[in-house]
A = this chain, B = another copy of it.
Amino acid sequence: MIKPTALIITIGDEIIIGQITDTNSQWLAYHLYKDGFEIRKMISIKDNATEIIETLDSVINVFDLIVITGGLGPTNDDITKKSLASYFNTKLVQNGDVLNDVKEMVMRRLGSIDLNKRNHDQSLVPENCIVLRNSVGTAPGMLFKESKHRAITISLPGVPHEMKWLYENRLVPFFSKEFELKPQSYDLFSIMGHSESGLAHLLESWENNLPQEWKPAYLPSAGIIKLRLFRPTEQNYKYDKYVSQLKEILGKSIVAVNEESIQITISKILKSNQLTICTAESCTGGNIAKSITEIPGASSYFRGSIIAYSNDIKTSLLNVDNDTLSIKGAVSQETAEQMAKGAAEALNCNISIATTGIAGPNGGTETKPVGTIWIAISINGIITSKQYTFGTLRSVNIERSTNAAMLLLLSTLQCIYE
Contacts and interface: CB of A to CB of B under 8 A. Distances in A.
Interface of A: 13-23, 25-33, 39-47, 51, 73-77, 109-110, 116-119, 122, 138, 159, 161, 186, 188, 195-198, 200-201, 207, 215-220, 226, 228, 279, 281, 284-290, 292-294, 296-299, 302-310, 312-313, 317, 346-348, 359-362, 391, 394-396, 398
Given A44-B41, A116-B201, A159-B220, A309 B304 contact: yes
Nearest to A220: B159
Nearest to A219: B14
Contacts of A188: 19
B28 A161 contact: no
B296 A285 contact: no
Contacts of A110: 195, 198
A396 B27 CA distance: 15
State the copy count for this chain. 2
A299 B308 CA distance: 10
A11 to B, nearest CB: 11
Given A18-B33, A76-B200, A77-B215, 17 more contacts: A17-B186, A19-B219, A19-B226, A19-B228, A20-B26, A40-B51, A42-B43, A75-B218, A110-B195, A119-B197, A122-B197, A161-B391, A286-B290, A296-B361, A303-B313, A304-B313, A305-B306
The CB with the most chain B CB atoms within 10 A, among A45, A119, A200, is that of A200
A75 B304 contact: no
